[in-house]
Amino acid sequence: MNHKTLPLLAAFSLAPAAFSQNVVHYWDFSSTNDVVGGVATTSVGTTDLSVNATYGEAYAGSGASLNSILGGTSAGGGHLSAAVQTGGMLQMDWGMDSFSFSYWTYDDFAGDSDIRGPRVFDCLDNTTVGIQLGTNATNDWNFRVDDDNGSVNIFNNVNAFMLPQDQWVHVAGVVDRVNSEIRSYVNGTLQATIPFNDTTTNNPMTGNVFPTIDLQIGAINGGTNAGQCQTAGLDDLAFYEGVLSAADVMDLASATKSPLDFASGVSNYCDPAVANSSGMPGFITATGNLDPAANNFTLMTSNLPNNQFGIFVTSLTQGFIPGAGGTSNGNICLGGVVGRFTAPSQILGTGTTGGFSLAVDLTAIPQANGTVTVMSGETWNFQAWHRDSVGLGSNFTNGVSVRFQ
């Protein structure tokens, strides 16, 4: 992933070279949480869904939909807002890399006399940089990408993007920067392909793509009025680094696989952490190579208070000790033998960025009686402890679990 707008990398760039895609954000709507990337997500405004507000689940075993989270009324401007731009670490910064997305949608055009169709997501601020997907009429698929060169690609009504009404439909989109094209799929079948060119000049788009507002889910244009919000069912919204293949999309559409099957071997847990004095829960992620022989592995934190110090801790075992047994504002999410990265070079400060990072030597993981080497096939769990200015004077991030290959 190309990150020119922030020095810290976004979550989960640990996929091995054999992976062509890696799920980095996934809202299954069992709650408001991003269950993969850990992005803080909140409900905003008064819900504005179809008068047929509860469509149930998209497919057997998929759980709740966005409608059941928001409740569903026939008026208002409600949606979810995910802090991809304001959360302390810039998420969904695709740079010049390929990315994909998938979701399930249900639109009852005949049922509610509302022709707006699905408002799916939006993280571009009017006409700046980012991506947006919203529709205006039956069978309209208006996917827009704006880059930092000022180029705009609008994928709209190409080859009559048909969405069957009154049923759940699986939709996927692929932005393939290698082949400079965008592909759309409905129910696992390729629907249309267009060049990834500026819509006005027809020149190839060559700029970086990153969010300039927080991700609006179930709304476009910030959900500022009822006309910009969701009136349809929405479920299992996922974003991926890399290209979903035709076979991948068919597996998702047939429910043979879920977005979680595209995880890299890295997952957050113990979410969310207890909020610290920044007002946000601290977040930990990792980047590098899952092969321990490469010894290229970095831990990173975000959403921490400025000008505090902290350390990383690790264990082969997950656990949960509320309030660290009464010694901290936060929770310990490790069990068993816990190693502490406390060498002078490993005691880190947040400075003015609200985070710190550590290049970890995988041949020297601290444990009770010295250090050990990470072996292929092992799963290690990591967390960060940090000082804070409130309460008991310290806190913890959530945890990140890494399965080395």
State pLDDT tens for residues 120-140.
899 998 778 999 988 656 566
| CA–CA distance, 290 with 120 (Å, rounded to integer) | 33
Yes or no: domain 266-403 corresponds to CATH 1.10.730: no
User: Could you tell me if 356 and 368 are in contact, meaning their C-beta atoms sit under 8 angstroms apart?
Assistant: no
Residue ranges per structural domain of the chain: 21-262, 266-403
User: Could you tell me if 389 and 401 are in contact, meaning their C-beta atoms sit under 8 angstroms apart?
Assistant: no
pLDDT reported for residue 9 = 25
User: Does residue 48 carry a pLDDT above 80?
Assistant: no
User: Could you tell me if 255 and 236 are in contact, meaning their C-beta atoms sit under 8 angstroms apart?
Assistant: no
Report for 10-19, 27-36, 155-164, 289-298: range of highest mean pLDDT: 289-298
* Section 359-365 average pLDDT: 96
pLDDT reported for residue 220 = 83
pLDDT reported for residue 382 = 96
The overall average pLDDT reported for the chain is 81
User: Does residue 394 carry a pLDDT above 50?
Assistant: yes
pLDDT reported for residue 49 = 43
pLDDT more than 90, % of the chain: 48
| Residue of higher predicted confidence among 339 and 220 | 339
| Residue of higher predicted confidence among 266 and 228 | 266
| CA–CA distance, 57 with 209 (Å, rounded to integer) | 32
pLDDT reported for residue 90 = 83
Q: What are phi and psi of 216, to 5 degrees?
A: -90, 125
Which residue in the block uniquely carries the two structure tokens 């309460």?
391
Give the gyration radius of the chain's Cα atoms: 22
Out of 189-198, 221-230, 396-405, which region has the weakest mean confidence (pLDDT)?
Answer: 221-230
Which residue in the block uniquely carries the two structure tokens 């321990």?
292
Element containing residue 194 per DSSP (H, E): strand 189-195
pLDDT reported for residue 405 = 76
Out of 106-120, 155-169, 174-188, which region has the weakest mean confidence (pLDDT)?
Answer: 106-120
Residue 342 burial (10 A CB sphere; 0-12, 13-18, 19+): exposed
The b/e string for 16-46 (b: 16+ C-beta within 10 A; e otherwise) is eeebbbbbbbbbbbeebbbbbbbbbbebbbe
pTM over 0.95: no
| Residue of higher predicted confidence among 79 and 392 | 392
pLDDT reported for residue 55 = 46
| CA–CA distance, 198 with 177 (Å, rounded to integer) | 13
Any idea how long the chain is? 405
Q: Which CATH number fits domain 21-262: 3.60.40.10, 2.60.120.200, 3.10.580.10, 1.10.10.10?
A: 2.60.120.200
Confidence of residue 20 (pLDDT cuts 50, 70, 90): low
Confidence of residue 79 (pLDDT cuts 50, 70, 90): confident
Structure tokens at 372: 């050990």
Q: What is the DSSP letter of 271?
A: P
Query: What are 169-207's pLDDT values in tens digits?
Result: 899 999 999 999 999 999 999 988 999 999 999 999 999
Which residues touch 189 (CB under 8 Å, ≥6 apart)? none
* Section 44-52 average pLDDT: 50
User: Does residue 54 carry a pLDDT above 80?
Assistant: no
